């Protein structure tokens, strides 16, 4: 389970933008890839998402960096959602309806011979695997480098595997 923000910026500007944030909880800034940064809330497993505060922070970051993506992930409840902000304004939301699902073959692997379908087009008689979730759709809309994936965010925001560039709160 994690919540965070992804944005693109030169490093010095990213650190300056981060230092300008004010939040009711502790935040950390990490480099996800060259020119791509993440801000995440330091939280315990029992802490609930603070969607309002985090989306407000993403809107603020997007004012100085042009765009920021607020992401929310909880594997326990199946939440995978993202909201894109440009210039301080919400420009897109990504949720279950934006995800792509591939039918599984007899070995339980996603079939490559048929195109994936949206959640609204799933056949109840088939088994599927999500091959592009809402967070990944949001990352593509933000145009982050291909090395920044949902897995990268999980490692950085949940398992805290990347060096911290700055901390606040």
Q: For 74-109, b where at least 16 C-beta lie within 10 A, e where not — what string?
A: eeeeebbbbbbbbeeeeeeebbeebbbbbbeeeeee
pLDDT of residue 46: 73
| Residue 103, strand partner residues | 128
Domain boundaries, the chain: 2-95+142-168
| Residue 3, strand partner residues | 72
pLDDT of residue 140: 95
Structural Rg of the chain based on CA atoms? 17
pLDDT of residue 75: 74
Angle at 59 between CA 55 and CA 61, to 5 degrees: 115
Q: What is the pTM of this model?
A: 0.89
Between strands 27-33 and 100-103, the pairing is unpaired
Ordered mean pLDDT values, 10 residues apiece, the chain (169 residues)? 95 96 93 97 80 95 96 82 97 92 94 91 92 92 93 93 94
pLDDT of residue 1: 86
């Amino acid at each position: 389970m994690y919540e965070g923000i992804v944005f693109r910026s030169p490093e010095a500007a990213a650190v300056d933008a981060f230092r300008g944030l004010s939040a009711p909880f502790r935040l950390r800034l990490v480099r996800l890839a060259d020119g791509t940064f993440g801000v995440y809330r330091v939280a315990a497993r029992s802490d609930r998402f603070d969607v309002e505060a985090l989306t407000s922070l993403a809107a603020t970051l997007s004012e100085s960096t042009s765009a920021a993506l607020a992401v929310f992930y909880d594997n326990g409840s199946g939440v995978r959602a993202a909201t894109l902000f440009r210039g301080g304004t919400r420009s897109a939301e990504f949720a279950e309806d934006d995800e792509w699902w591939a039918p599984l073959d007899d070995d339980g692997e996603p079939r490559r011979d048929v195109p994936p379908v949206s959640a609204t087009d799933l056949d109840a008689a088939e088994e599927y695997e999500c091959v592009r979730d809402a967070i990944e759709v949001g990352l593509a809309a933000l145009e982050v480098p291909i090395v920044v994936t949902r897995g990268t965010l999980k490692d950085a925001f949940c398992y805290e595997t990347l060096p911290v560039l700055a901390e606040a709160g």
